[in-house]
Amino acid sequence: MSDFVFATAQYESGDWDSAPLVPANIIDTIARYTSIDVAPTGVIVPLSSSSMFRYPLLYLTGHLPVRFSEAERANLRRYSELGGLLFVDDHNHDVDGTFHKTATEELSRVYGPIKTVPNTHALYRSFFRFDDGPPTTSHELNGWGDNLVHKTLSGVERRGRLVLLYSSKDYSSEWNYHPQNKRFLSVDNTKFAVNLVVYALTR
Amino acid sequence: MRSRADLRRGVEWLLRAALVVALAVALWRSMMARSEAGVARRTTVRALPAALREAASAPAVTGLHLAVSETPSPLQRAWLVALRRAGVAVTWSGSPPAIAAEASRAREPRAPARIAVAASAGAKIVVADSAGVVDTLRVGAAGGGALVESDGLISPVTASSGPFAARVALPQAPESRAVLVLGRPSWESKFVIFALGEAGWTVRARLPVAPGVEEATAGLLPLDTSRYDVVVALDSTASGLSAGIARFVAQGGGLVAAGSATRLASLRALLPARAGERLPGRILLEGDSVTPPGLPLRPLASLAADAVVLERVPAGVALAARRAGRAAIVAVGYDESWRWRMLGGASGAASHRAWWSRTVALAAPDRSAAPSPSSGGDAAPLAALVGALGAPVSPPASAASETTNALPVILLVMIVLALVAETASRRFRGAR
């Protein structure tokens, strides 16, 4: 089995599969920049299943309200205790959207208070350097986007390591394209995903 | 008919006679003591300090018998041995229980102190430290001993059976240096680092992420025993440092090789065994959990002549080691042990952590110092007593128990009473 398999979290409520091209794009980026032994295809893992513990980094996204079942909460609680990292991205890019409100409420029940991750965090230096914190997305920028720029990410740490990373920046839209189209970009906008995976694998 | 006054005078004469007799006995005893060739004393542990002082200062004491009803201290034992060497016939009697204790500490940073107690079958043993009672044990009917593991004990520790106690000083917590983990960025590297860190080890790591790019602790090299106790090589990324690892092992450092590192040609001369082809682990069903026998395995084969097999699972040898100076080299056959942590059920994380900590401790150099003779220990008091004074003997019937001899006091009381009574009688009847 490969050292890293990109795993998308499937939850019983909402639209967990709203960004279907993200896994392939991230896998392509990891293979492009690193020597990490990455599996060529991703997997979909139900949060209510114990198989989620096979994948210590999980990606969760959606637009719709999130309500975890008891089994999903229990698994996530245990996952965080064991050192698994859950990366949650709001596909709405909205501070007042239904996903944001319900997901942060659910995640707070499982993980406790969600705090701002400082832009000096090791996450922003684990491979590429992001001195200004999380890279902005085109959906945030004035003109193309709505000019609602989230300057930081949020998260929860246990024993000095992130176990939850929450983004309102809508990387799910930013990275949701076929990897072959990366050649049309002047700057690869998926580089931050490399930092995320390297951080998860090494810290 | 004799009057009452006559009777009284007769009694006075009797008292005078008793006084003279008591004085004569006292004079005779003092003269005999000076002229005697030597006396044998009999004493108990409680009265031993006075008896030892007397035996050491009075040349007339040529024999000393100790009735052992509680444990004499090592100092008292040493004093008795010195007296024996000085020519005093020292013997002892009694039947103290055979009790012995040993304190040890594993080479893990947070390992509890372990107190092993040996005693006769059915004995009730109270284990206590300087702060109070830690536990009470009863040795099984088959005899042997019992084991107590506890954190935070305050030295010394005693294991007592009634008034007899074995006393041991706790060894210092071992001085430990960092552990260097070499591996790919993978769940195995991450969770081995996690487990060792949680177990209290200071962990540094080098994880090459891309050609020329590595996720590494600052100031990782040089690789030497002043900085590191053990190198953990998890895969073939260790090959770049294999010359340094060989030098580190030659200096007395420990090595744990796992995964594809066990197949590195550059480490082959060091390793206790060579790993075979990888066998896939057990397929887990929903809700299933994994234990070490269910992990993927590279069975260890081609064992070196001095290799010792430490763990074996149905698919083959999973752990082997060989000694290298004060440290050891351990080969691990398990692959992807992180699954044990993540998929090992309720105890998986703790078991994975304990296993890795124990394995690294196996390889870590032994830096423990030998217990100091002045540490106040008395680990096996009966054995020490027999070793010092020989086997017990029957208590001598005629030995004078000087330390409990009341004759001088009795004589003194007799003299004083006789003197007071005689004088008072004379005065009451008006005589001078």
pLDDT tens string B96-126: 888 888 888 888 888 888 888 888 888 888 8
Q: Is B286 in Cβ contact with A50 (below 8 Å)?
A: yes
- B370 versus B80: the higher-pLDDT residue is B80
Q: Is B339 in Cβ contact with A82 (below 8 Å)?
A: no
- The shortest CB-CB distance from B190 to any of A33, A159, A202 is to A202
- B45 versus B183: the higher-pLDDT residue is B183
**pLDDT in the model for residue B402:** 47
Whether residue B343 lies within 8 A of chain A, CB to CB, comes out as: yes
Asked if pLDDT for residue B219 goes beyond 60, the answer is yes
Burial B86-118 (b: 16+ CB within 10 A, else e): eebebbbebebbbbbbbbebbbbbebebbbbbb
Residue A84: closest C-alpha in chain B: B342
Asked if pLDDT for residue A142 goes beyond 60, the answer is no
pLDDT, average across residues B128-137: 87
3-class secondary structure, B13: helix
Cα radius of gyration rounded to whole Å, chain A: 16
Whether residue A51 lies within 8 A of chain B, CB to CB, comes out as: yes
pLDDT, average across residues A79-107: 91
Q: What is the pLDDT of residues A15-55, one digit of tens each?
A: 999 999 999 999 999 999 999 999 999 999 999 999 999 99
pLDDT, average across residues B175-194: 93
pLDDT, average across residues A108-129: 96
Whether residue B283 lies within 8 A of chain A, CB to CB, comes out as: no
Q: What is the DSSP letter of B279?
A: B
pTM recorded for the entire structure = 0.77
**pLDDT in the model for residue B87:** 85
Whether residue B326 lies within 8 A of chain A, CB to CB, comes out as: no
Q: What does each C-alpha distance from B75 to A156, B253, B367 come to in angstroms?
A: 60, 40, 30
Residue B278: closest C-alpha in chain A: A1
**pLDDT in the model for residue B36:** 54
In chain B, what residues touch A58 (CB-CB under 8 Å)? none
Query: Helix B48-57 to helix B74-85 angle, to the nearest 10 degrees?
Result: 30
Q: What is the pLDDT of residues B383-392, one digit of tens each?
A: 888 988 888 8
Highest mean pLDDT among A74-88, A179-193, B90-104: A74-88
Q: What is the ipTM of this complex?
A: 0.91
Q: What is the pLDDT of residues B314-338, one digit of tens each?
A: 999 999 999 988 899 999 999 999 9
Residue A81: closest C-alpha in chain B: B349
| A189 to chain B, closest Cα gap in Å | 19
Q: Is B286 in Cβ contact with A83 (below 8 Å)?
A: no
Asked if pLDDT for residue B237 goes beyond 60, the answer is yes
Q: How confident is the model at residue B71 (pLDDT cuts 50, 70, 90)?
A: confident
Q: Is B186 in Cβ contact with A4 (below 8 Å)?
A: yes
Whether residue A56 lies within 8 A of chain B, CB to CB, comes out as: yes
Sheet holding A57-62, edge to edge: A43-46, A7-10, A57-62, A85-90, A161-167, A153-158, A115-117
Whether residue B286 lies within 8 A of chain A, CB to CB, comes out as: yes
> How many CA atoms, within 13 angstroms, populate the side-chain half-sphere of residue A30?
28
Asked if pLDDT for residue B303 goes beyond 50, the answer is yes
Asked if pLDDT for residue B38 goes beyond 80, the answer is no
Spatial separation of the C-alpha atoms in residues A84 and A164, rounded to whole Å: 8
3-class secondary structure, B177: coil
Residue B184: closest C-alpha in chain A: A36
* Mutation to test the A interface, candidates B181, B207, B342, most A Cβ within 10 Å: B342
Burial B201-235 (b: 16+ CB within 10 A, else e): bbbbbbbbbbeeeebbeeebeebebebbbbbbbbb
- The shortest CB-CB distance from A56 to any of B187, B198, B287 is to B187
Q: How confident is the model at residue B52 (pLDDT cuts 50, 70, 90)?
A: confident
Pairing between β-strand B300-301 and β-strand B274-275 as defined by DSSP bridges: antiparallel
Q: Is B286 in Cβ contact with A49 (below 8 Å)?
A: yes
